[in-house]
Structure 1
Amino acid sequence: MKFSEYKYERPDLDQAKAEFYGYIDAIKKADSYETVKENLDKLQALQNDLMTLQELVGIRASIDSRDEFYEAEQAFWDEHSPIVTEWFTDFYRAILNSSYLDQLKEDLPGTFFKLAENSLKSFDPKVIELIQEENRLVTEYNRLIASAEIEYKGKTYNLPGLGKFAQDPDRQVRKEVAALNSKFFADNQAKIDEIYDRMVKVRDKIAKDLGFKDFVELGYVRMDRLDYNRRDVETYRQEILKHVVPLDQELYARQAKRLGLDALKSYDLPLEFKEGNATPVGTSDEILANGVKMYHEMSPETGEFIDFMVDHELLDLVTKPGKQGGGYCTYIPGYQSPFIFSNFNGTSGDVDVLTHEAGHAFQVYSSRWIQSPECVWPTFESCEIHSMSMEFFAYPWMKDFFQDQEQKYKYSHLMGTVTFLPYGVLVDHFQHEVYEHPEMTPAERRATWRRLEKQYNPWKDFDGDEFLEAGGFWFRQGHIFSSPFYYIDYTLAQVCALQFWKRQVIDHDPKAWEDYLAICRAGGTLSFRQIVEKANLKSPFEKGNLEGLVNTIRDYLAAIPESDLV
């Protein structure tokens, strides 16, 4: 069955609720463990059915935000998903209060119970209306961003489509496109400010109505940070400032020299090489064909996976009008199908999709054996280990995609990982400030961003762009709006992925791939620290763990001669 044939029909939620609570009641009244397990299995099957329908709506609405049917269905789920969440919390309460809890703990993953506890902490029927409002605001922001139609040189682009010009070798083109991008957000500043101000206030109220000090506390629970806290993150931030920011400043100074510029402006940062960044060779179909070849040669497991994705048409890769921006991987449980969404735009990012998002998809494909829907995926920061590590495991095949630009791509990719780290921490630090001070005005939030931006990204010179100088860059970071606190996860995972890079490229460790496969199969049955341990990696939260890794990256990049980077 192809993805287009996957059936969506709006569920009868009254009927589903009666069935769901029938299973809960049977679990509560069970006089044997066999009865508990039988009804648990049926309940989890119904969970998967509901999640399947919601995922199909989300995917199809993002493929074409102008589709009126799926726009209406998205509104339906925005309204009703908090109600379904209440059913799930009642289910978790029944499990945690079951007299057969000890036997359940032998059958279900340990993380299931921690996730269930977090679900109970983060939800109460009294906040349903507030969560519905939060969902509506996220949809409003996404639609506003997807509505962008920007004229440039006689053609109309959405924001992702315009992105390919950011790496143009012509500095004037880069400057013009940066100004057009900035103008879109500046023109919509009042609306975005209003949306986010309402988001902050509704999230703060949700947190306080649930008994939390602030939304930061609730945010950590929502993100299911099972084994680390604010203090661990603060330690990690300092390590990034101490070890990574200085390396990035060195790399940008080298870039300026390579480009023949006295100093880099913000619109120069995406262009790393004077004659242009490495770009993949071939059409979108040819890039995908190279991806299929790569995964067949990488391992039997990845070969089977990519055939499944292609045969079932589970990749929507090319940008087009009305399509939402960005890229993602999700999972459709009723069909045991990962799905990859992206916006190919002719840059190296097109290849990154086939490694990064495919890393997510390969992990969830590998962990389909897990019956509990809560544990098929790991928690967010662990998910990103699989995706970012796959980018490095794909290095031996980059010549197929980039031909004589292979070395440029690898330099750019590795540099990009370490220059991203401070930005990722900045996004997280900013959100801590925002939700610790929900009373801030929109102008104060922008000023806060700019203050932190100068700390974590001191190399950014916006060349007189008033909107960005006033702290507006974060408007384009969709995670801040739709997935609060989901961003530092990328950086934590990147530090882990870089350790896989070192083991594979520098140390030639034959166990690296074996360890990677092991954590893919484990899915969400382990917490972040447990996954790091299972993969034989070092924790990002321990002081000193970054220093040696950063020095290895510095030496590796320094050893690549400029003659290879033309």
Structure 2
Amino acid sequence: MKFSEYVYERPNIDEVSNEVIAIADEIAIAKSKDEAVALIQKAEKITNHFQTMSTICSIRNSINTEDEFYKKEQEFFDENTPTYQNAVTKYAASLVNSPLRKELEGVYGSQWFKILELNLKSFDEKITDELIAESKLVTEYSKLLASAKIEFDGKINNLSQMTVYTNSSDRNIRLEATKKIAEFMSSIETKLDDIYDKLVHVRDKMAKKMGYDNYIPFGYIRLGRSDYDASMVKNYRDQVYETIVPIAKSIIENQKKRIGISDFKSYDIPLFYNDGNPMPHKDKDTLVKKAYEMYSDISPETKEFFKFMMDNELMDLETKPNKQGGGYCTVIADYKAPFIFSNFNGTMGDVDVLTHEAGHAFECYTATKNLPISDLYWPTLEACEIHSMSMEFFAHPYMDKFFDDDAAKYRFKHLAEAITFIPYGVCVDDFQHYVYANPNVTPAQRKAYWHEIEAKYTPWKDFDGISYYERGNWWQRQSHIFGTAFYYIDYTLAQVCAFQFLLLNHNNHKEAWETYYNLCKMGGSKSFTGLLQAINFKNPFESGALKCIMPGVCDILKVLENEYANLKK
């Protein structure tokens, strides 16, 4: 069934909540494992259907943020989901506290119960008002960014559409496009400051209501982080500063020489080559066709998966007016169907979507076939990103399908930018730890701290007098900071794990793919570090891990650079 044929009907919150609570009461007095399993299956059907309606609404609202029907439906979920969450919390408590827990762990695994315990620690009826306020503020942020109507090149552009200009080989176009974006962001800067200030205080308030000194430990619990804490993350950030920042600096220095710009500015960063960045086929249908050819060759499993996505129209890829920015992958539970949302803009990023988001979707598609409950379809967020980022590297040999003669340019640029991204990612994380450890600082103080750590982790950035960025505002464009606090270091952790897949694939493709496929089949049945242990990968939190991994990655980068150089001869 095609996505357009999926029927949406607003759920009755009271009815659904009462049904879930009734099942929770029955589980509490269940006499046997079989009785409890039957009740869990019944609850799965109810909660999956609620989530299906919520997800269909969210997708359709993000495709057109001005659609009045789905705008109102999204407001309904923003306001009422916490009520439903109260019922789900009672259901989780009945499972965690069940006398049959050990037997049920034999059916579903212990990780699900650890997740449920964290969910219990992350929610209580007493923070319902804060959760409602948080949801509304995040929606307000998304709408503000989606409202961009930037006049450039004789057109009206949203933020995604401006990327083609910021990636232009013409330096003046890059500069003027960057100024235009900054001009728009400046026009909403005060509103964004206000939204974020309210979000910080709302989150701080909910954490304190739940008995925590600040939002940091509570934020970790909300993200399901059961096997590491803020001190381990700080140790990892320090490793990045010591090991990866110097590598990233050398990559940028080489880029300066390659493009021949001595007064290198921030708007020059997107130009990796002086003859222009690799450009894929422009047509969306051509890109999807090439992606199907690629996935058909990688494995029978990926071929089946991508055909399912195409046949059921489970991808909305092209940018259009009033469409929410960015990209994501989600799952529509009743149909066991992943959905990919993106904004193609004519750059190499379009190909990254067909590998990155498809990596998420493939993992979910695989997990739905191997795991008994939807809570286990995805692992925790940092582990989710391993699938997506690693798929980008598995796709490397197929880049000629998308870029023709520019394939070598793509591979070199892609790996170089994967490395230089990591310092930025830990900068975002450092910023958020400062913000939530100091919730009462002013917006100006937050910007000053961002400016300080931006210079520490990404010292190559020079904003050339563009006031909006020089005031320490770059983070306002990073939607994760608003939408899901502390969800960004995950990308860097996953990138380090994806580097390990890159290294393994370089030495033994068969072993690398089997390891990846097994990881996908495990879904969320283990924690982040548990998954790494299961596939015998290095844990990024361990001191010395980056010093062990990065030399091999740099060697491959040099090989890819030589491939590009040989192409130029």
The normalised TM-score by structure 1 is 0.98
8 Å CA contact 2:368, 2:374 repeated in 1: no
Structure 2 counterpart SS, 1:151: strand
- SS class of match (1:160): coil
Would the alpha carbon gap of residues 399 and 7 (structure 1) be closer, same or farther in structure 2, given more than 3 Å must change? Answer: same
Deviations 1:174-230 (A, max 9, x none): 000001111111111110000000000000000000001110111100111111111
Distance in 1 separating the partners of 2:15 and 2:85:
16
Q: Secondary structure at the match of 1:422?
A: helix
Correspondence 1:34-45 to 2 at 5 A = 34-45=34-45
Judge conservation of contact 1:408–1:564 (CA < 8 Å) in 2.
no
Look up the SS of the partner of 2:9 in the other structure: coil
Report what 2:389 is aligned to.
388
Aligned to 2:476: 475
How far did residue 109 of structure 1 move?
2.2
Task: Provide the residue aligned with 2:541 in structure 1.
Answer: 541
Q: RMSD of aligned C-alpha atoms?
A: 1.1
Contact 1:137 1:199 in 2 (8 A): yes
- Which residue of structure 1 lines up, in the alignment, with residue 446 of structure 2? 445
The aligned amino acid for 2:147 is S
Instruction: Write the distance in 2 (CA, Å) between the matches of 1:226 and 1:33.
Output: 26
How far apart are the structure 2 equivalents of 1:295 and 1:515? Answer: 17
- Counterpart mapping for 1:214-293 below 5 A: 214-293=214-293
Unaligned segments of structure 2, at least 5 residues: none
Q: Is there any run of 5+ residues in structure 1 with no aligned partner, and where?
A: none
- What is the distance in 2 between the residues matched to 1:438 and 1:362? 39
Q: Is the 8 A contact 1:407 1:564 kept in 2?
A: no
Compared CA separation, residues 442 and 564, structure 1 to 2 (3 A):
farther
Does residue 363 of structure 1 match 2:367?
no
Q: 1:496-525, CA deviations, whole angstroms, 9 ceiling, x for partnerless residues?
A: 0011111112x2353111000001001000
- Asked if the contact 2:425/2:488 (under 8 Å) is kept, the reply is yes
After superposition, the Cα gap between the structure-2 partners of 1:320 and 1:564, relative to the gap in structure 1 and judged at 3 Å, is farther
Mapping 1:38-53, distance limit 5 Å: 38-53=38-53
Deviation at 1:553, TM superposition (A): 2.6
Query: What's the CA shift for 1:15?
Result: 1.6
Q: Give runs of aligned pairs for residues 295-310 of structure 1, distance below 5 A.
A: 295-310=295-310
Q: Which string of whole-angstrom CA distances, capped at 9 and with x for unpartnered residues, describes residues 52-97 of structure 1?
A: 0110111000000010000001000001111111111101111111
Which residue in the other structure is 2:133 paired with?
A: 133
Which amino acid in 2 is paired with 1:476? R
Amino acid in the other structure paired with 1:286? T
SS in 2 for 1:329: strand
Report SS of the residue matched to 1:316: strand
> How far did residue 354 of structure 1 move?
0.4
Q: Which moved more, 1:93-102 or 1:426-435?
A: 93-102
Rounded Cα–Cα distance in structure 1 between residues aligned with 2:280 and 2:44: 43
Shift of 1:356: 0.2
Larger mean CA deviation between 544-553 and 162-171 belongs to 544-553
Q: Identical aligned pairs, as a percentage?
A: 45
Partner deviation per Cα, 1:5-63 (whole Å, 9 max, x = no partner): 11110011222122222211211222333322211110111110111011011100000
Change in CA separation of 1:227 and 1:8 when aligned onto 2, cut-off 3 Å: same
Q: How big is each residue's C-alpha offset from its partner over 1:251-283, in whole Å with a ceiling of 9 and x where there is no partner?
A: 111111111111320000000000100011241
**Partner amino acid, structure 2, of 1:410:** R
Query: AA paired with 2:415?
Result: L
* 1:465 shift after superposition: 1.0
1:202-213 map, 5 Å: 202-213=202-213
Q: Specify whether residues 39 and 418 from structure 1 end up closer, same or farther in structure 2 by C-alpha distance, changes over 3 A only.
A: same
Q: Distance in 1 between matches of 2:96 and 2:341?
A: 36
Runs of 4+ in 1 over 4 A off after TM superposition: none
Structure 1 Cα separation of the partners of residues 4 and 372 of structure 2: 25
Query: Aligned equivalents of 2:388 and 2:535: distance in 1?
Result: 14
AA matched with 1:386: H
Provide the residue aligned with 1:504 in structure 2.
505
Q: Which residue in the other structure is 1:513 paired with?
A: 513
Q: Residues of 2 paired with 1:180 and 1:282: CA distance?
A: 24
CA offsets 1:290-326 (integer angstroms, 9 cap, x no match): 0011001110000000010000000100000010000
In structure 2, what is the equivalent of residue 484 of structure 1? 485
Aligned counterparts, 1:95-134, within 5 A: 95-134=95-134
Q: Which residue of 1 aligns with 2:403?
A: 402
Q: Give the CA deviation at 1:411.
A: 0.4
Contact in 1 for aligned 2:17/2:83 (Cα 8 Å): no
- Confirm or deny: 8 A CA contact 1:47 1:373 kept in the other structure: no
What is the DSSP-based 3-state SS (H/G/I as helix, E as strand, rest coil) of the residue aligned with 1:340? strand
Change (3 A) 1:35 1:558: closer
1:426 equivalent in structure 2: 427
- 8 Å CA contact 1:208–1:215 kept in 2: the answer is yes
Q: What is the deviation of 1:551? A: 1.9
Task: State whether residues 13 and 83 of structure 2, in contact with CA within 8 Å, keep that contact through their aligned partners in structure 1.
Answer: no
Task: Encode CA deviations 1:101-124: one digit per residue, 9 max, x unaligned.
Answer: 121111112111111111111111
Deviations 1:134-173 (A, max 9, x none): 0000000000000000000210000000111111011000
Residue 333 (structure 2) aligns with: 333
CA distance in 2, matches of 1:35, 1:535: 35
Counterpart residue number, 2:7: 7
Alignment check: 8 A CA contact 1:65 1:324 kept:
yes
| Matching residue's letter, 1:438 | P
Partner of 1:495: 496
Please name the residue that 1:563 is paired with.
Answer: 565
Offset at residue 564 of structure 1 (A): 4.5
Once the 2 structures are TM-superposed, how far is the Cα of residue 483 of structure 1 from its aligned partner?
A: 0.9
Q: In structure 1, what is the Cα distance between the partners aligned to 2:336 and 2:522?
A: 16
Distance 2:171 2:32 in 1: 72
Q: Distance in 2 between the 1:213 and 1:109 partners?
A: 32
Q: 1:162 to 1:565 in 2, by over 3 A?
A: farther
Q: What residue identity is the alignment partner of 2:287?
A: I
Aligned partner of residue 459 in structure 1, secondary structure = coil
Q: Distance in 1 between matches of 2:518 and 2:391?
A: 13
TM-score by length of 2: 0.98
Asked if the contact 1:109/1:375 (under 8 Å) is kept, the reply is: no
Contact 1:57–1:70 (Cα < 8 Å) also in 2: yes
Q: CA deviation at 1:565?
A: 7.0
Q: State the alpha-carbon separation in 1 of the partners of residues 16 and 510 from structure 2.
A: 49
Amino acid at match of 2:324: Q
Question: How many Å separate the matches in 2 of 1:499 and 1:403?
Answer: 27
Q: What secondary structure is seen at the aligned counterpart in 1 of 2:99?
A: coil
Q: Which residue of 2 aligns with 1:372?
A: 373
Question: For the residues of structure 1 that align with 2:40 and 2:513, how far apart are their CA atoms?
Answer: 35
| Counterpart amino acid of residue 447 in structure 1 | A
Which amino acid is 1:32 matched to?
S
Question: What amino acid sits opposite 2:45 in the alignment?
Answer: A
**Relative to 1, partners in 2 of residues 1:309 and 1:117: Cα closer, same or farther, differing over 3 Å?**
same
The answer to whether 1:143 aligns with 2:136 is no
2:23 aligned with 1:23: yes
Give the Cα separation in 1 of the matches to 2:434 and 2:119: 25
For residues 13 and 225 of structure 1, what CA distance do their matches in structure 2 show?
29
Provide the residue aligned with 1:454 in structure 2. 455
How many angstroms apart in 2 are the aligned matches of 1:533 and 1:29? Answer: 37
Deviations 1:334-390 (A, max 9, x none): 111000000011100000000000000000000003222211110000000000000
Q: 1:50 to 1:213 in 2, by over 3 A?
A: same
Q: Which moved more, 1:548-557 or 1:345-354?
A: 548-557
The residue identity in structure 1 corresponding to 2:13 is L
In structure 2, C-alpha distance between the alignment counterparts of 1:544 and 1:98, rounded to whole Å: 42
Residues 282 and 346 in structure 2, CA contact (< 8 A), matched pair in contact too: no
Mapped to 2, the partners of 1:281 and 1:313 lie a distance apart of 21
Aligned to 2:188: 188
